Amino acid sequence: MNDQADELRNLVLESAARQAAYAGPSARIVTVAGGKGGVGTTSLALNLSVALAGQGSQIVLVDADLHRADISALCRLEERHNLGDVLRGHHGIHEVLERGPHGIQVIAGTWAEDGNAICTEFAQRRLIQGLRSMGSHADVVILDVGSGSGVVQQRFWHAADETIIVTTPDTVSIMDAYAAIKSLLNDGPPVPVSVVVNQVVDHDLAHEVHLRIQRSCRRFLGRDVQHLGHVPLDPRLSLAAHDSQPVMMQSPTCPAARALERIATQLLSPRIECVVENDDSGLRAA
């Protein structure tokens, strides 16, 4: 019976994939993740989405953090439905989209206690296929998957076209970011990885943080990770979050907003993912 159920499930998934392929162009899927909590993945995902929209891209932002659904509150949305409705099969993706700031489309997160339980492999793959089939309506789908490297997060990472790992300059955050990258690259198909250093005081420190992660990835994983940029420590980020607004709209000329614009530009620019020879330097505790 289990074999028959697995066969039926695979047939359904293959059919859904064919339908998505026939529907038109595929949307580019980018996950935003952190190795640990408190590094600002949600703030980055939201403000990056607004920055991309400001540069002319059609954006869908998905709150896929099953443990902390904050995006709808930060966008002042009166959510009617959320990601849980899609995962349970109660509604389709287009039925749960809400119009967010600067014209982005938002799928609110779920606060369900059984978040991981409803996000089965079948439901998650169906969700990813549905998001990818939105190419005629969205250029980029941003998935805020929160922190950690559990099986649900890994499925999102491996289904994406690129994963952005967010870290701060503190040592624990750097180590956790490397651990997340290691899990991503070791436990599934290769996915381009970029790093954003958040809450940093200057460019030199951001460069040093990325260099530490880069050296470890080269030494232990034989892979390059891109430096997508950094976001400075800026009090206007906290003020904007307190007011439930993206900093890109509340303080568009502040240092953090300018940095996010540069990250958006870099994300849209062609980049090359490299496999490199092992290096003899890196994080000693890796």
pLDDT for 22 equals 47
pLDDT tens digits in sequence order for the chain, 286 residues long: 555 455 555 555 555 554 544 456 899 999 999 998 899 999 999 999 999 999 999 999 999 998 888 999 999 998 789 999 999 999 999 999 999 999 999 999 987 666 667 889 999 999 999 999 999 889 999 999 998 878 888 899 999 999 999 999 999 999 999 999 998 887 777 789 999 999 999 999 999 999 999 999 999 999 999 999 999 999 999 999 999 999 999 999 999 999 999 999 999 987 655 545 444 445 644 3
31-79 pLDDT, tens digit each:
999 998 899 999 999 999 999 999 999 999 999 998 888 999 999 998 7
- Enumerate domains of the chain plus CATH numbers: 26-268 (3.40.50.300)
pTM, to two decimals:
0.87
Residue 3 tokens, joined: 């074999």
Specify the 3-state DSSP secondary structure of 132. Answer: helix
Which distant-in-sequence residues (6+ apart) come within 8 Å of 19 by Cβ?
133
Specify the 3-state DSSP secondary structure of 169. Answer: coil
Residues 57, 138: Cα–Cα separation, whole Å: 8
The letter for the amino acid at 241 is: A
Residues 113, 106: Cα–Cα separation, whole Å: 21
pLDDT for 190 equals 78
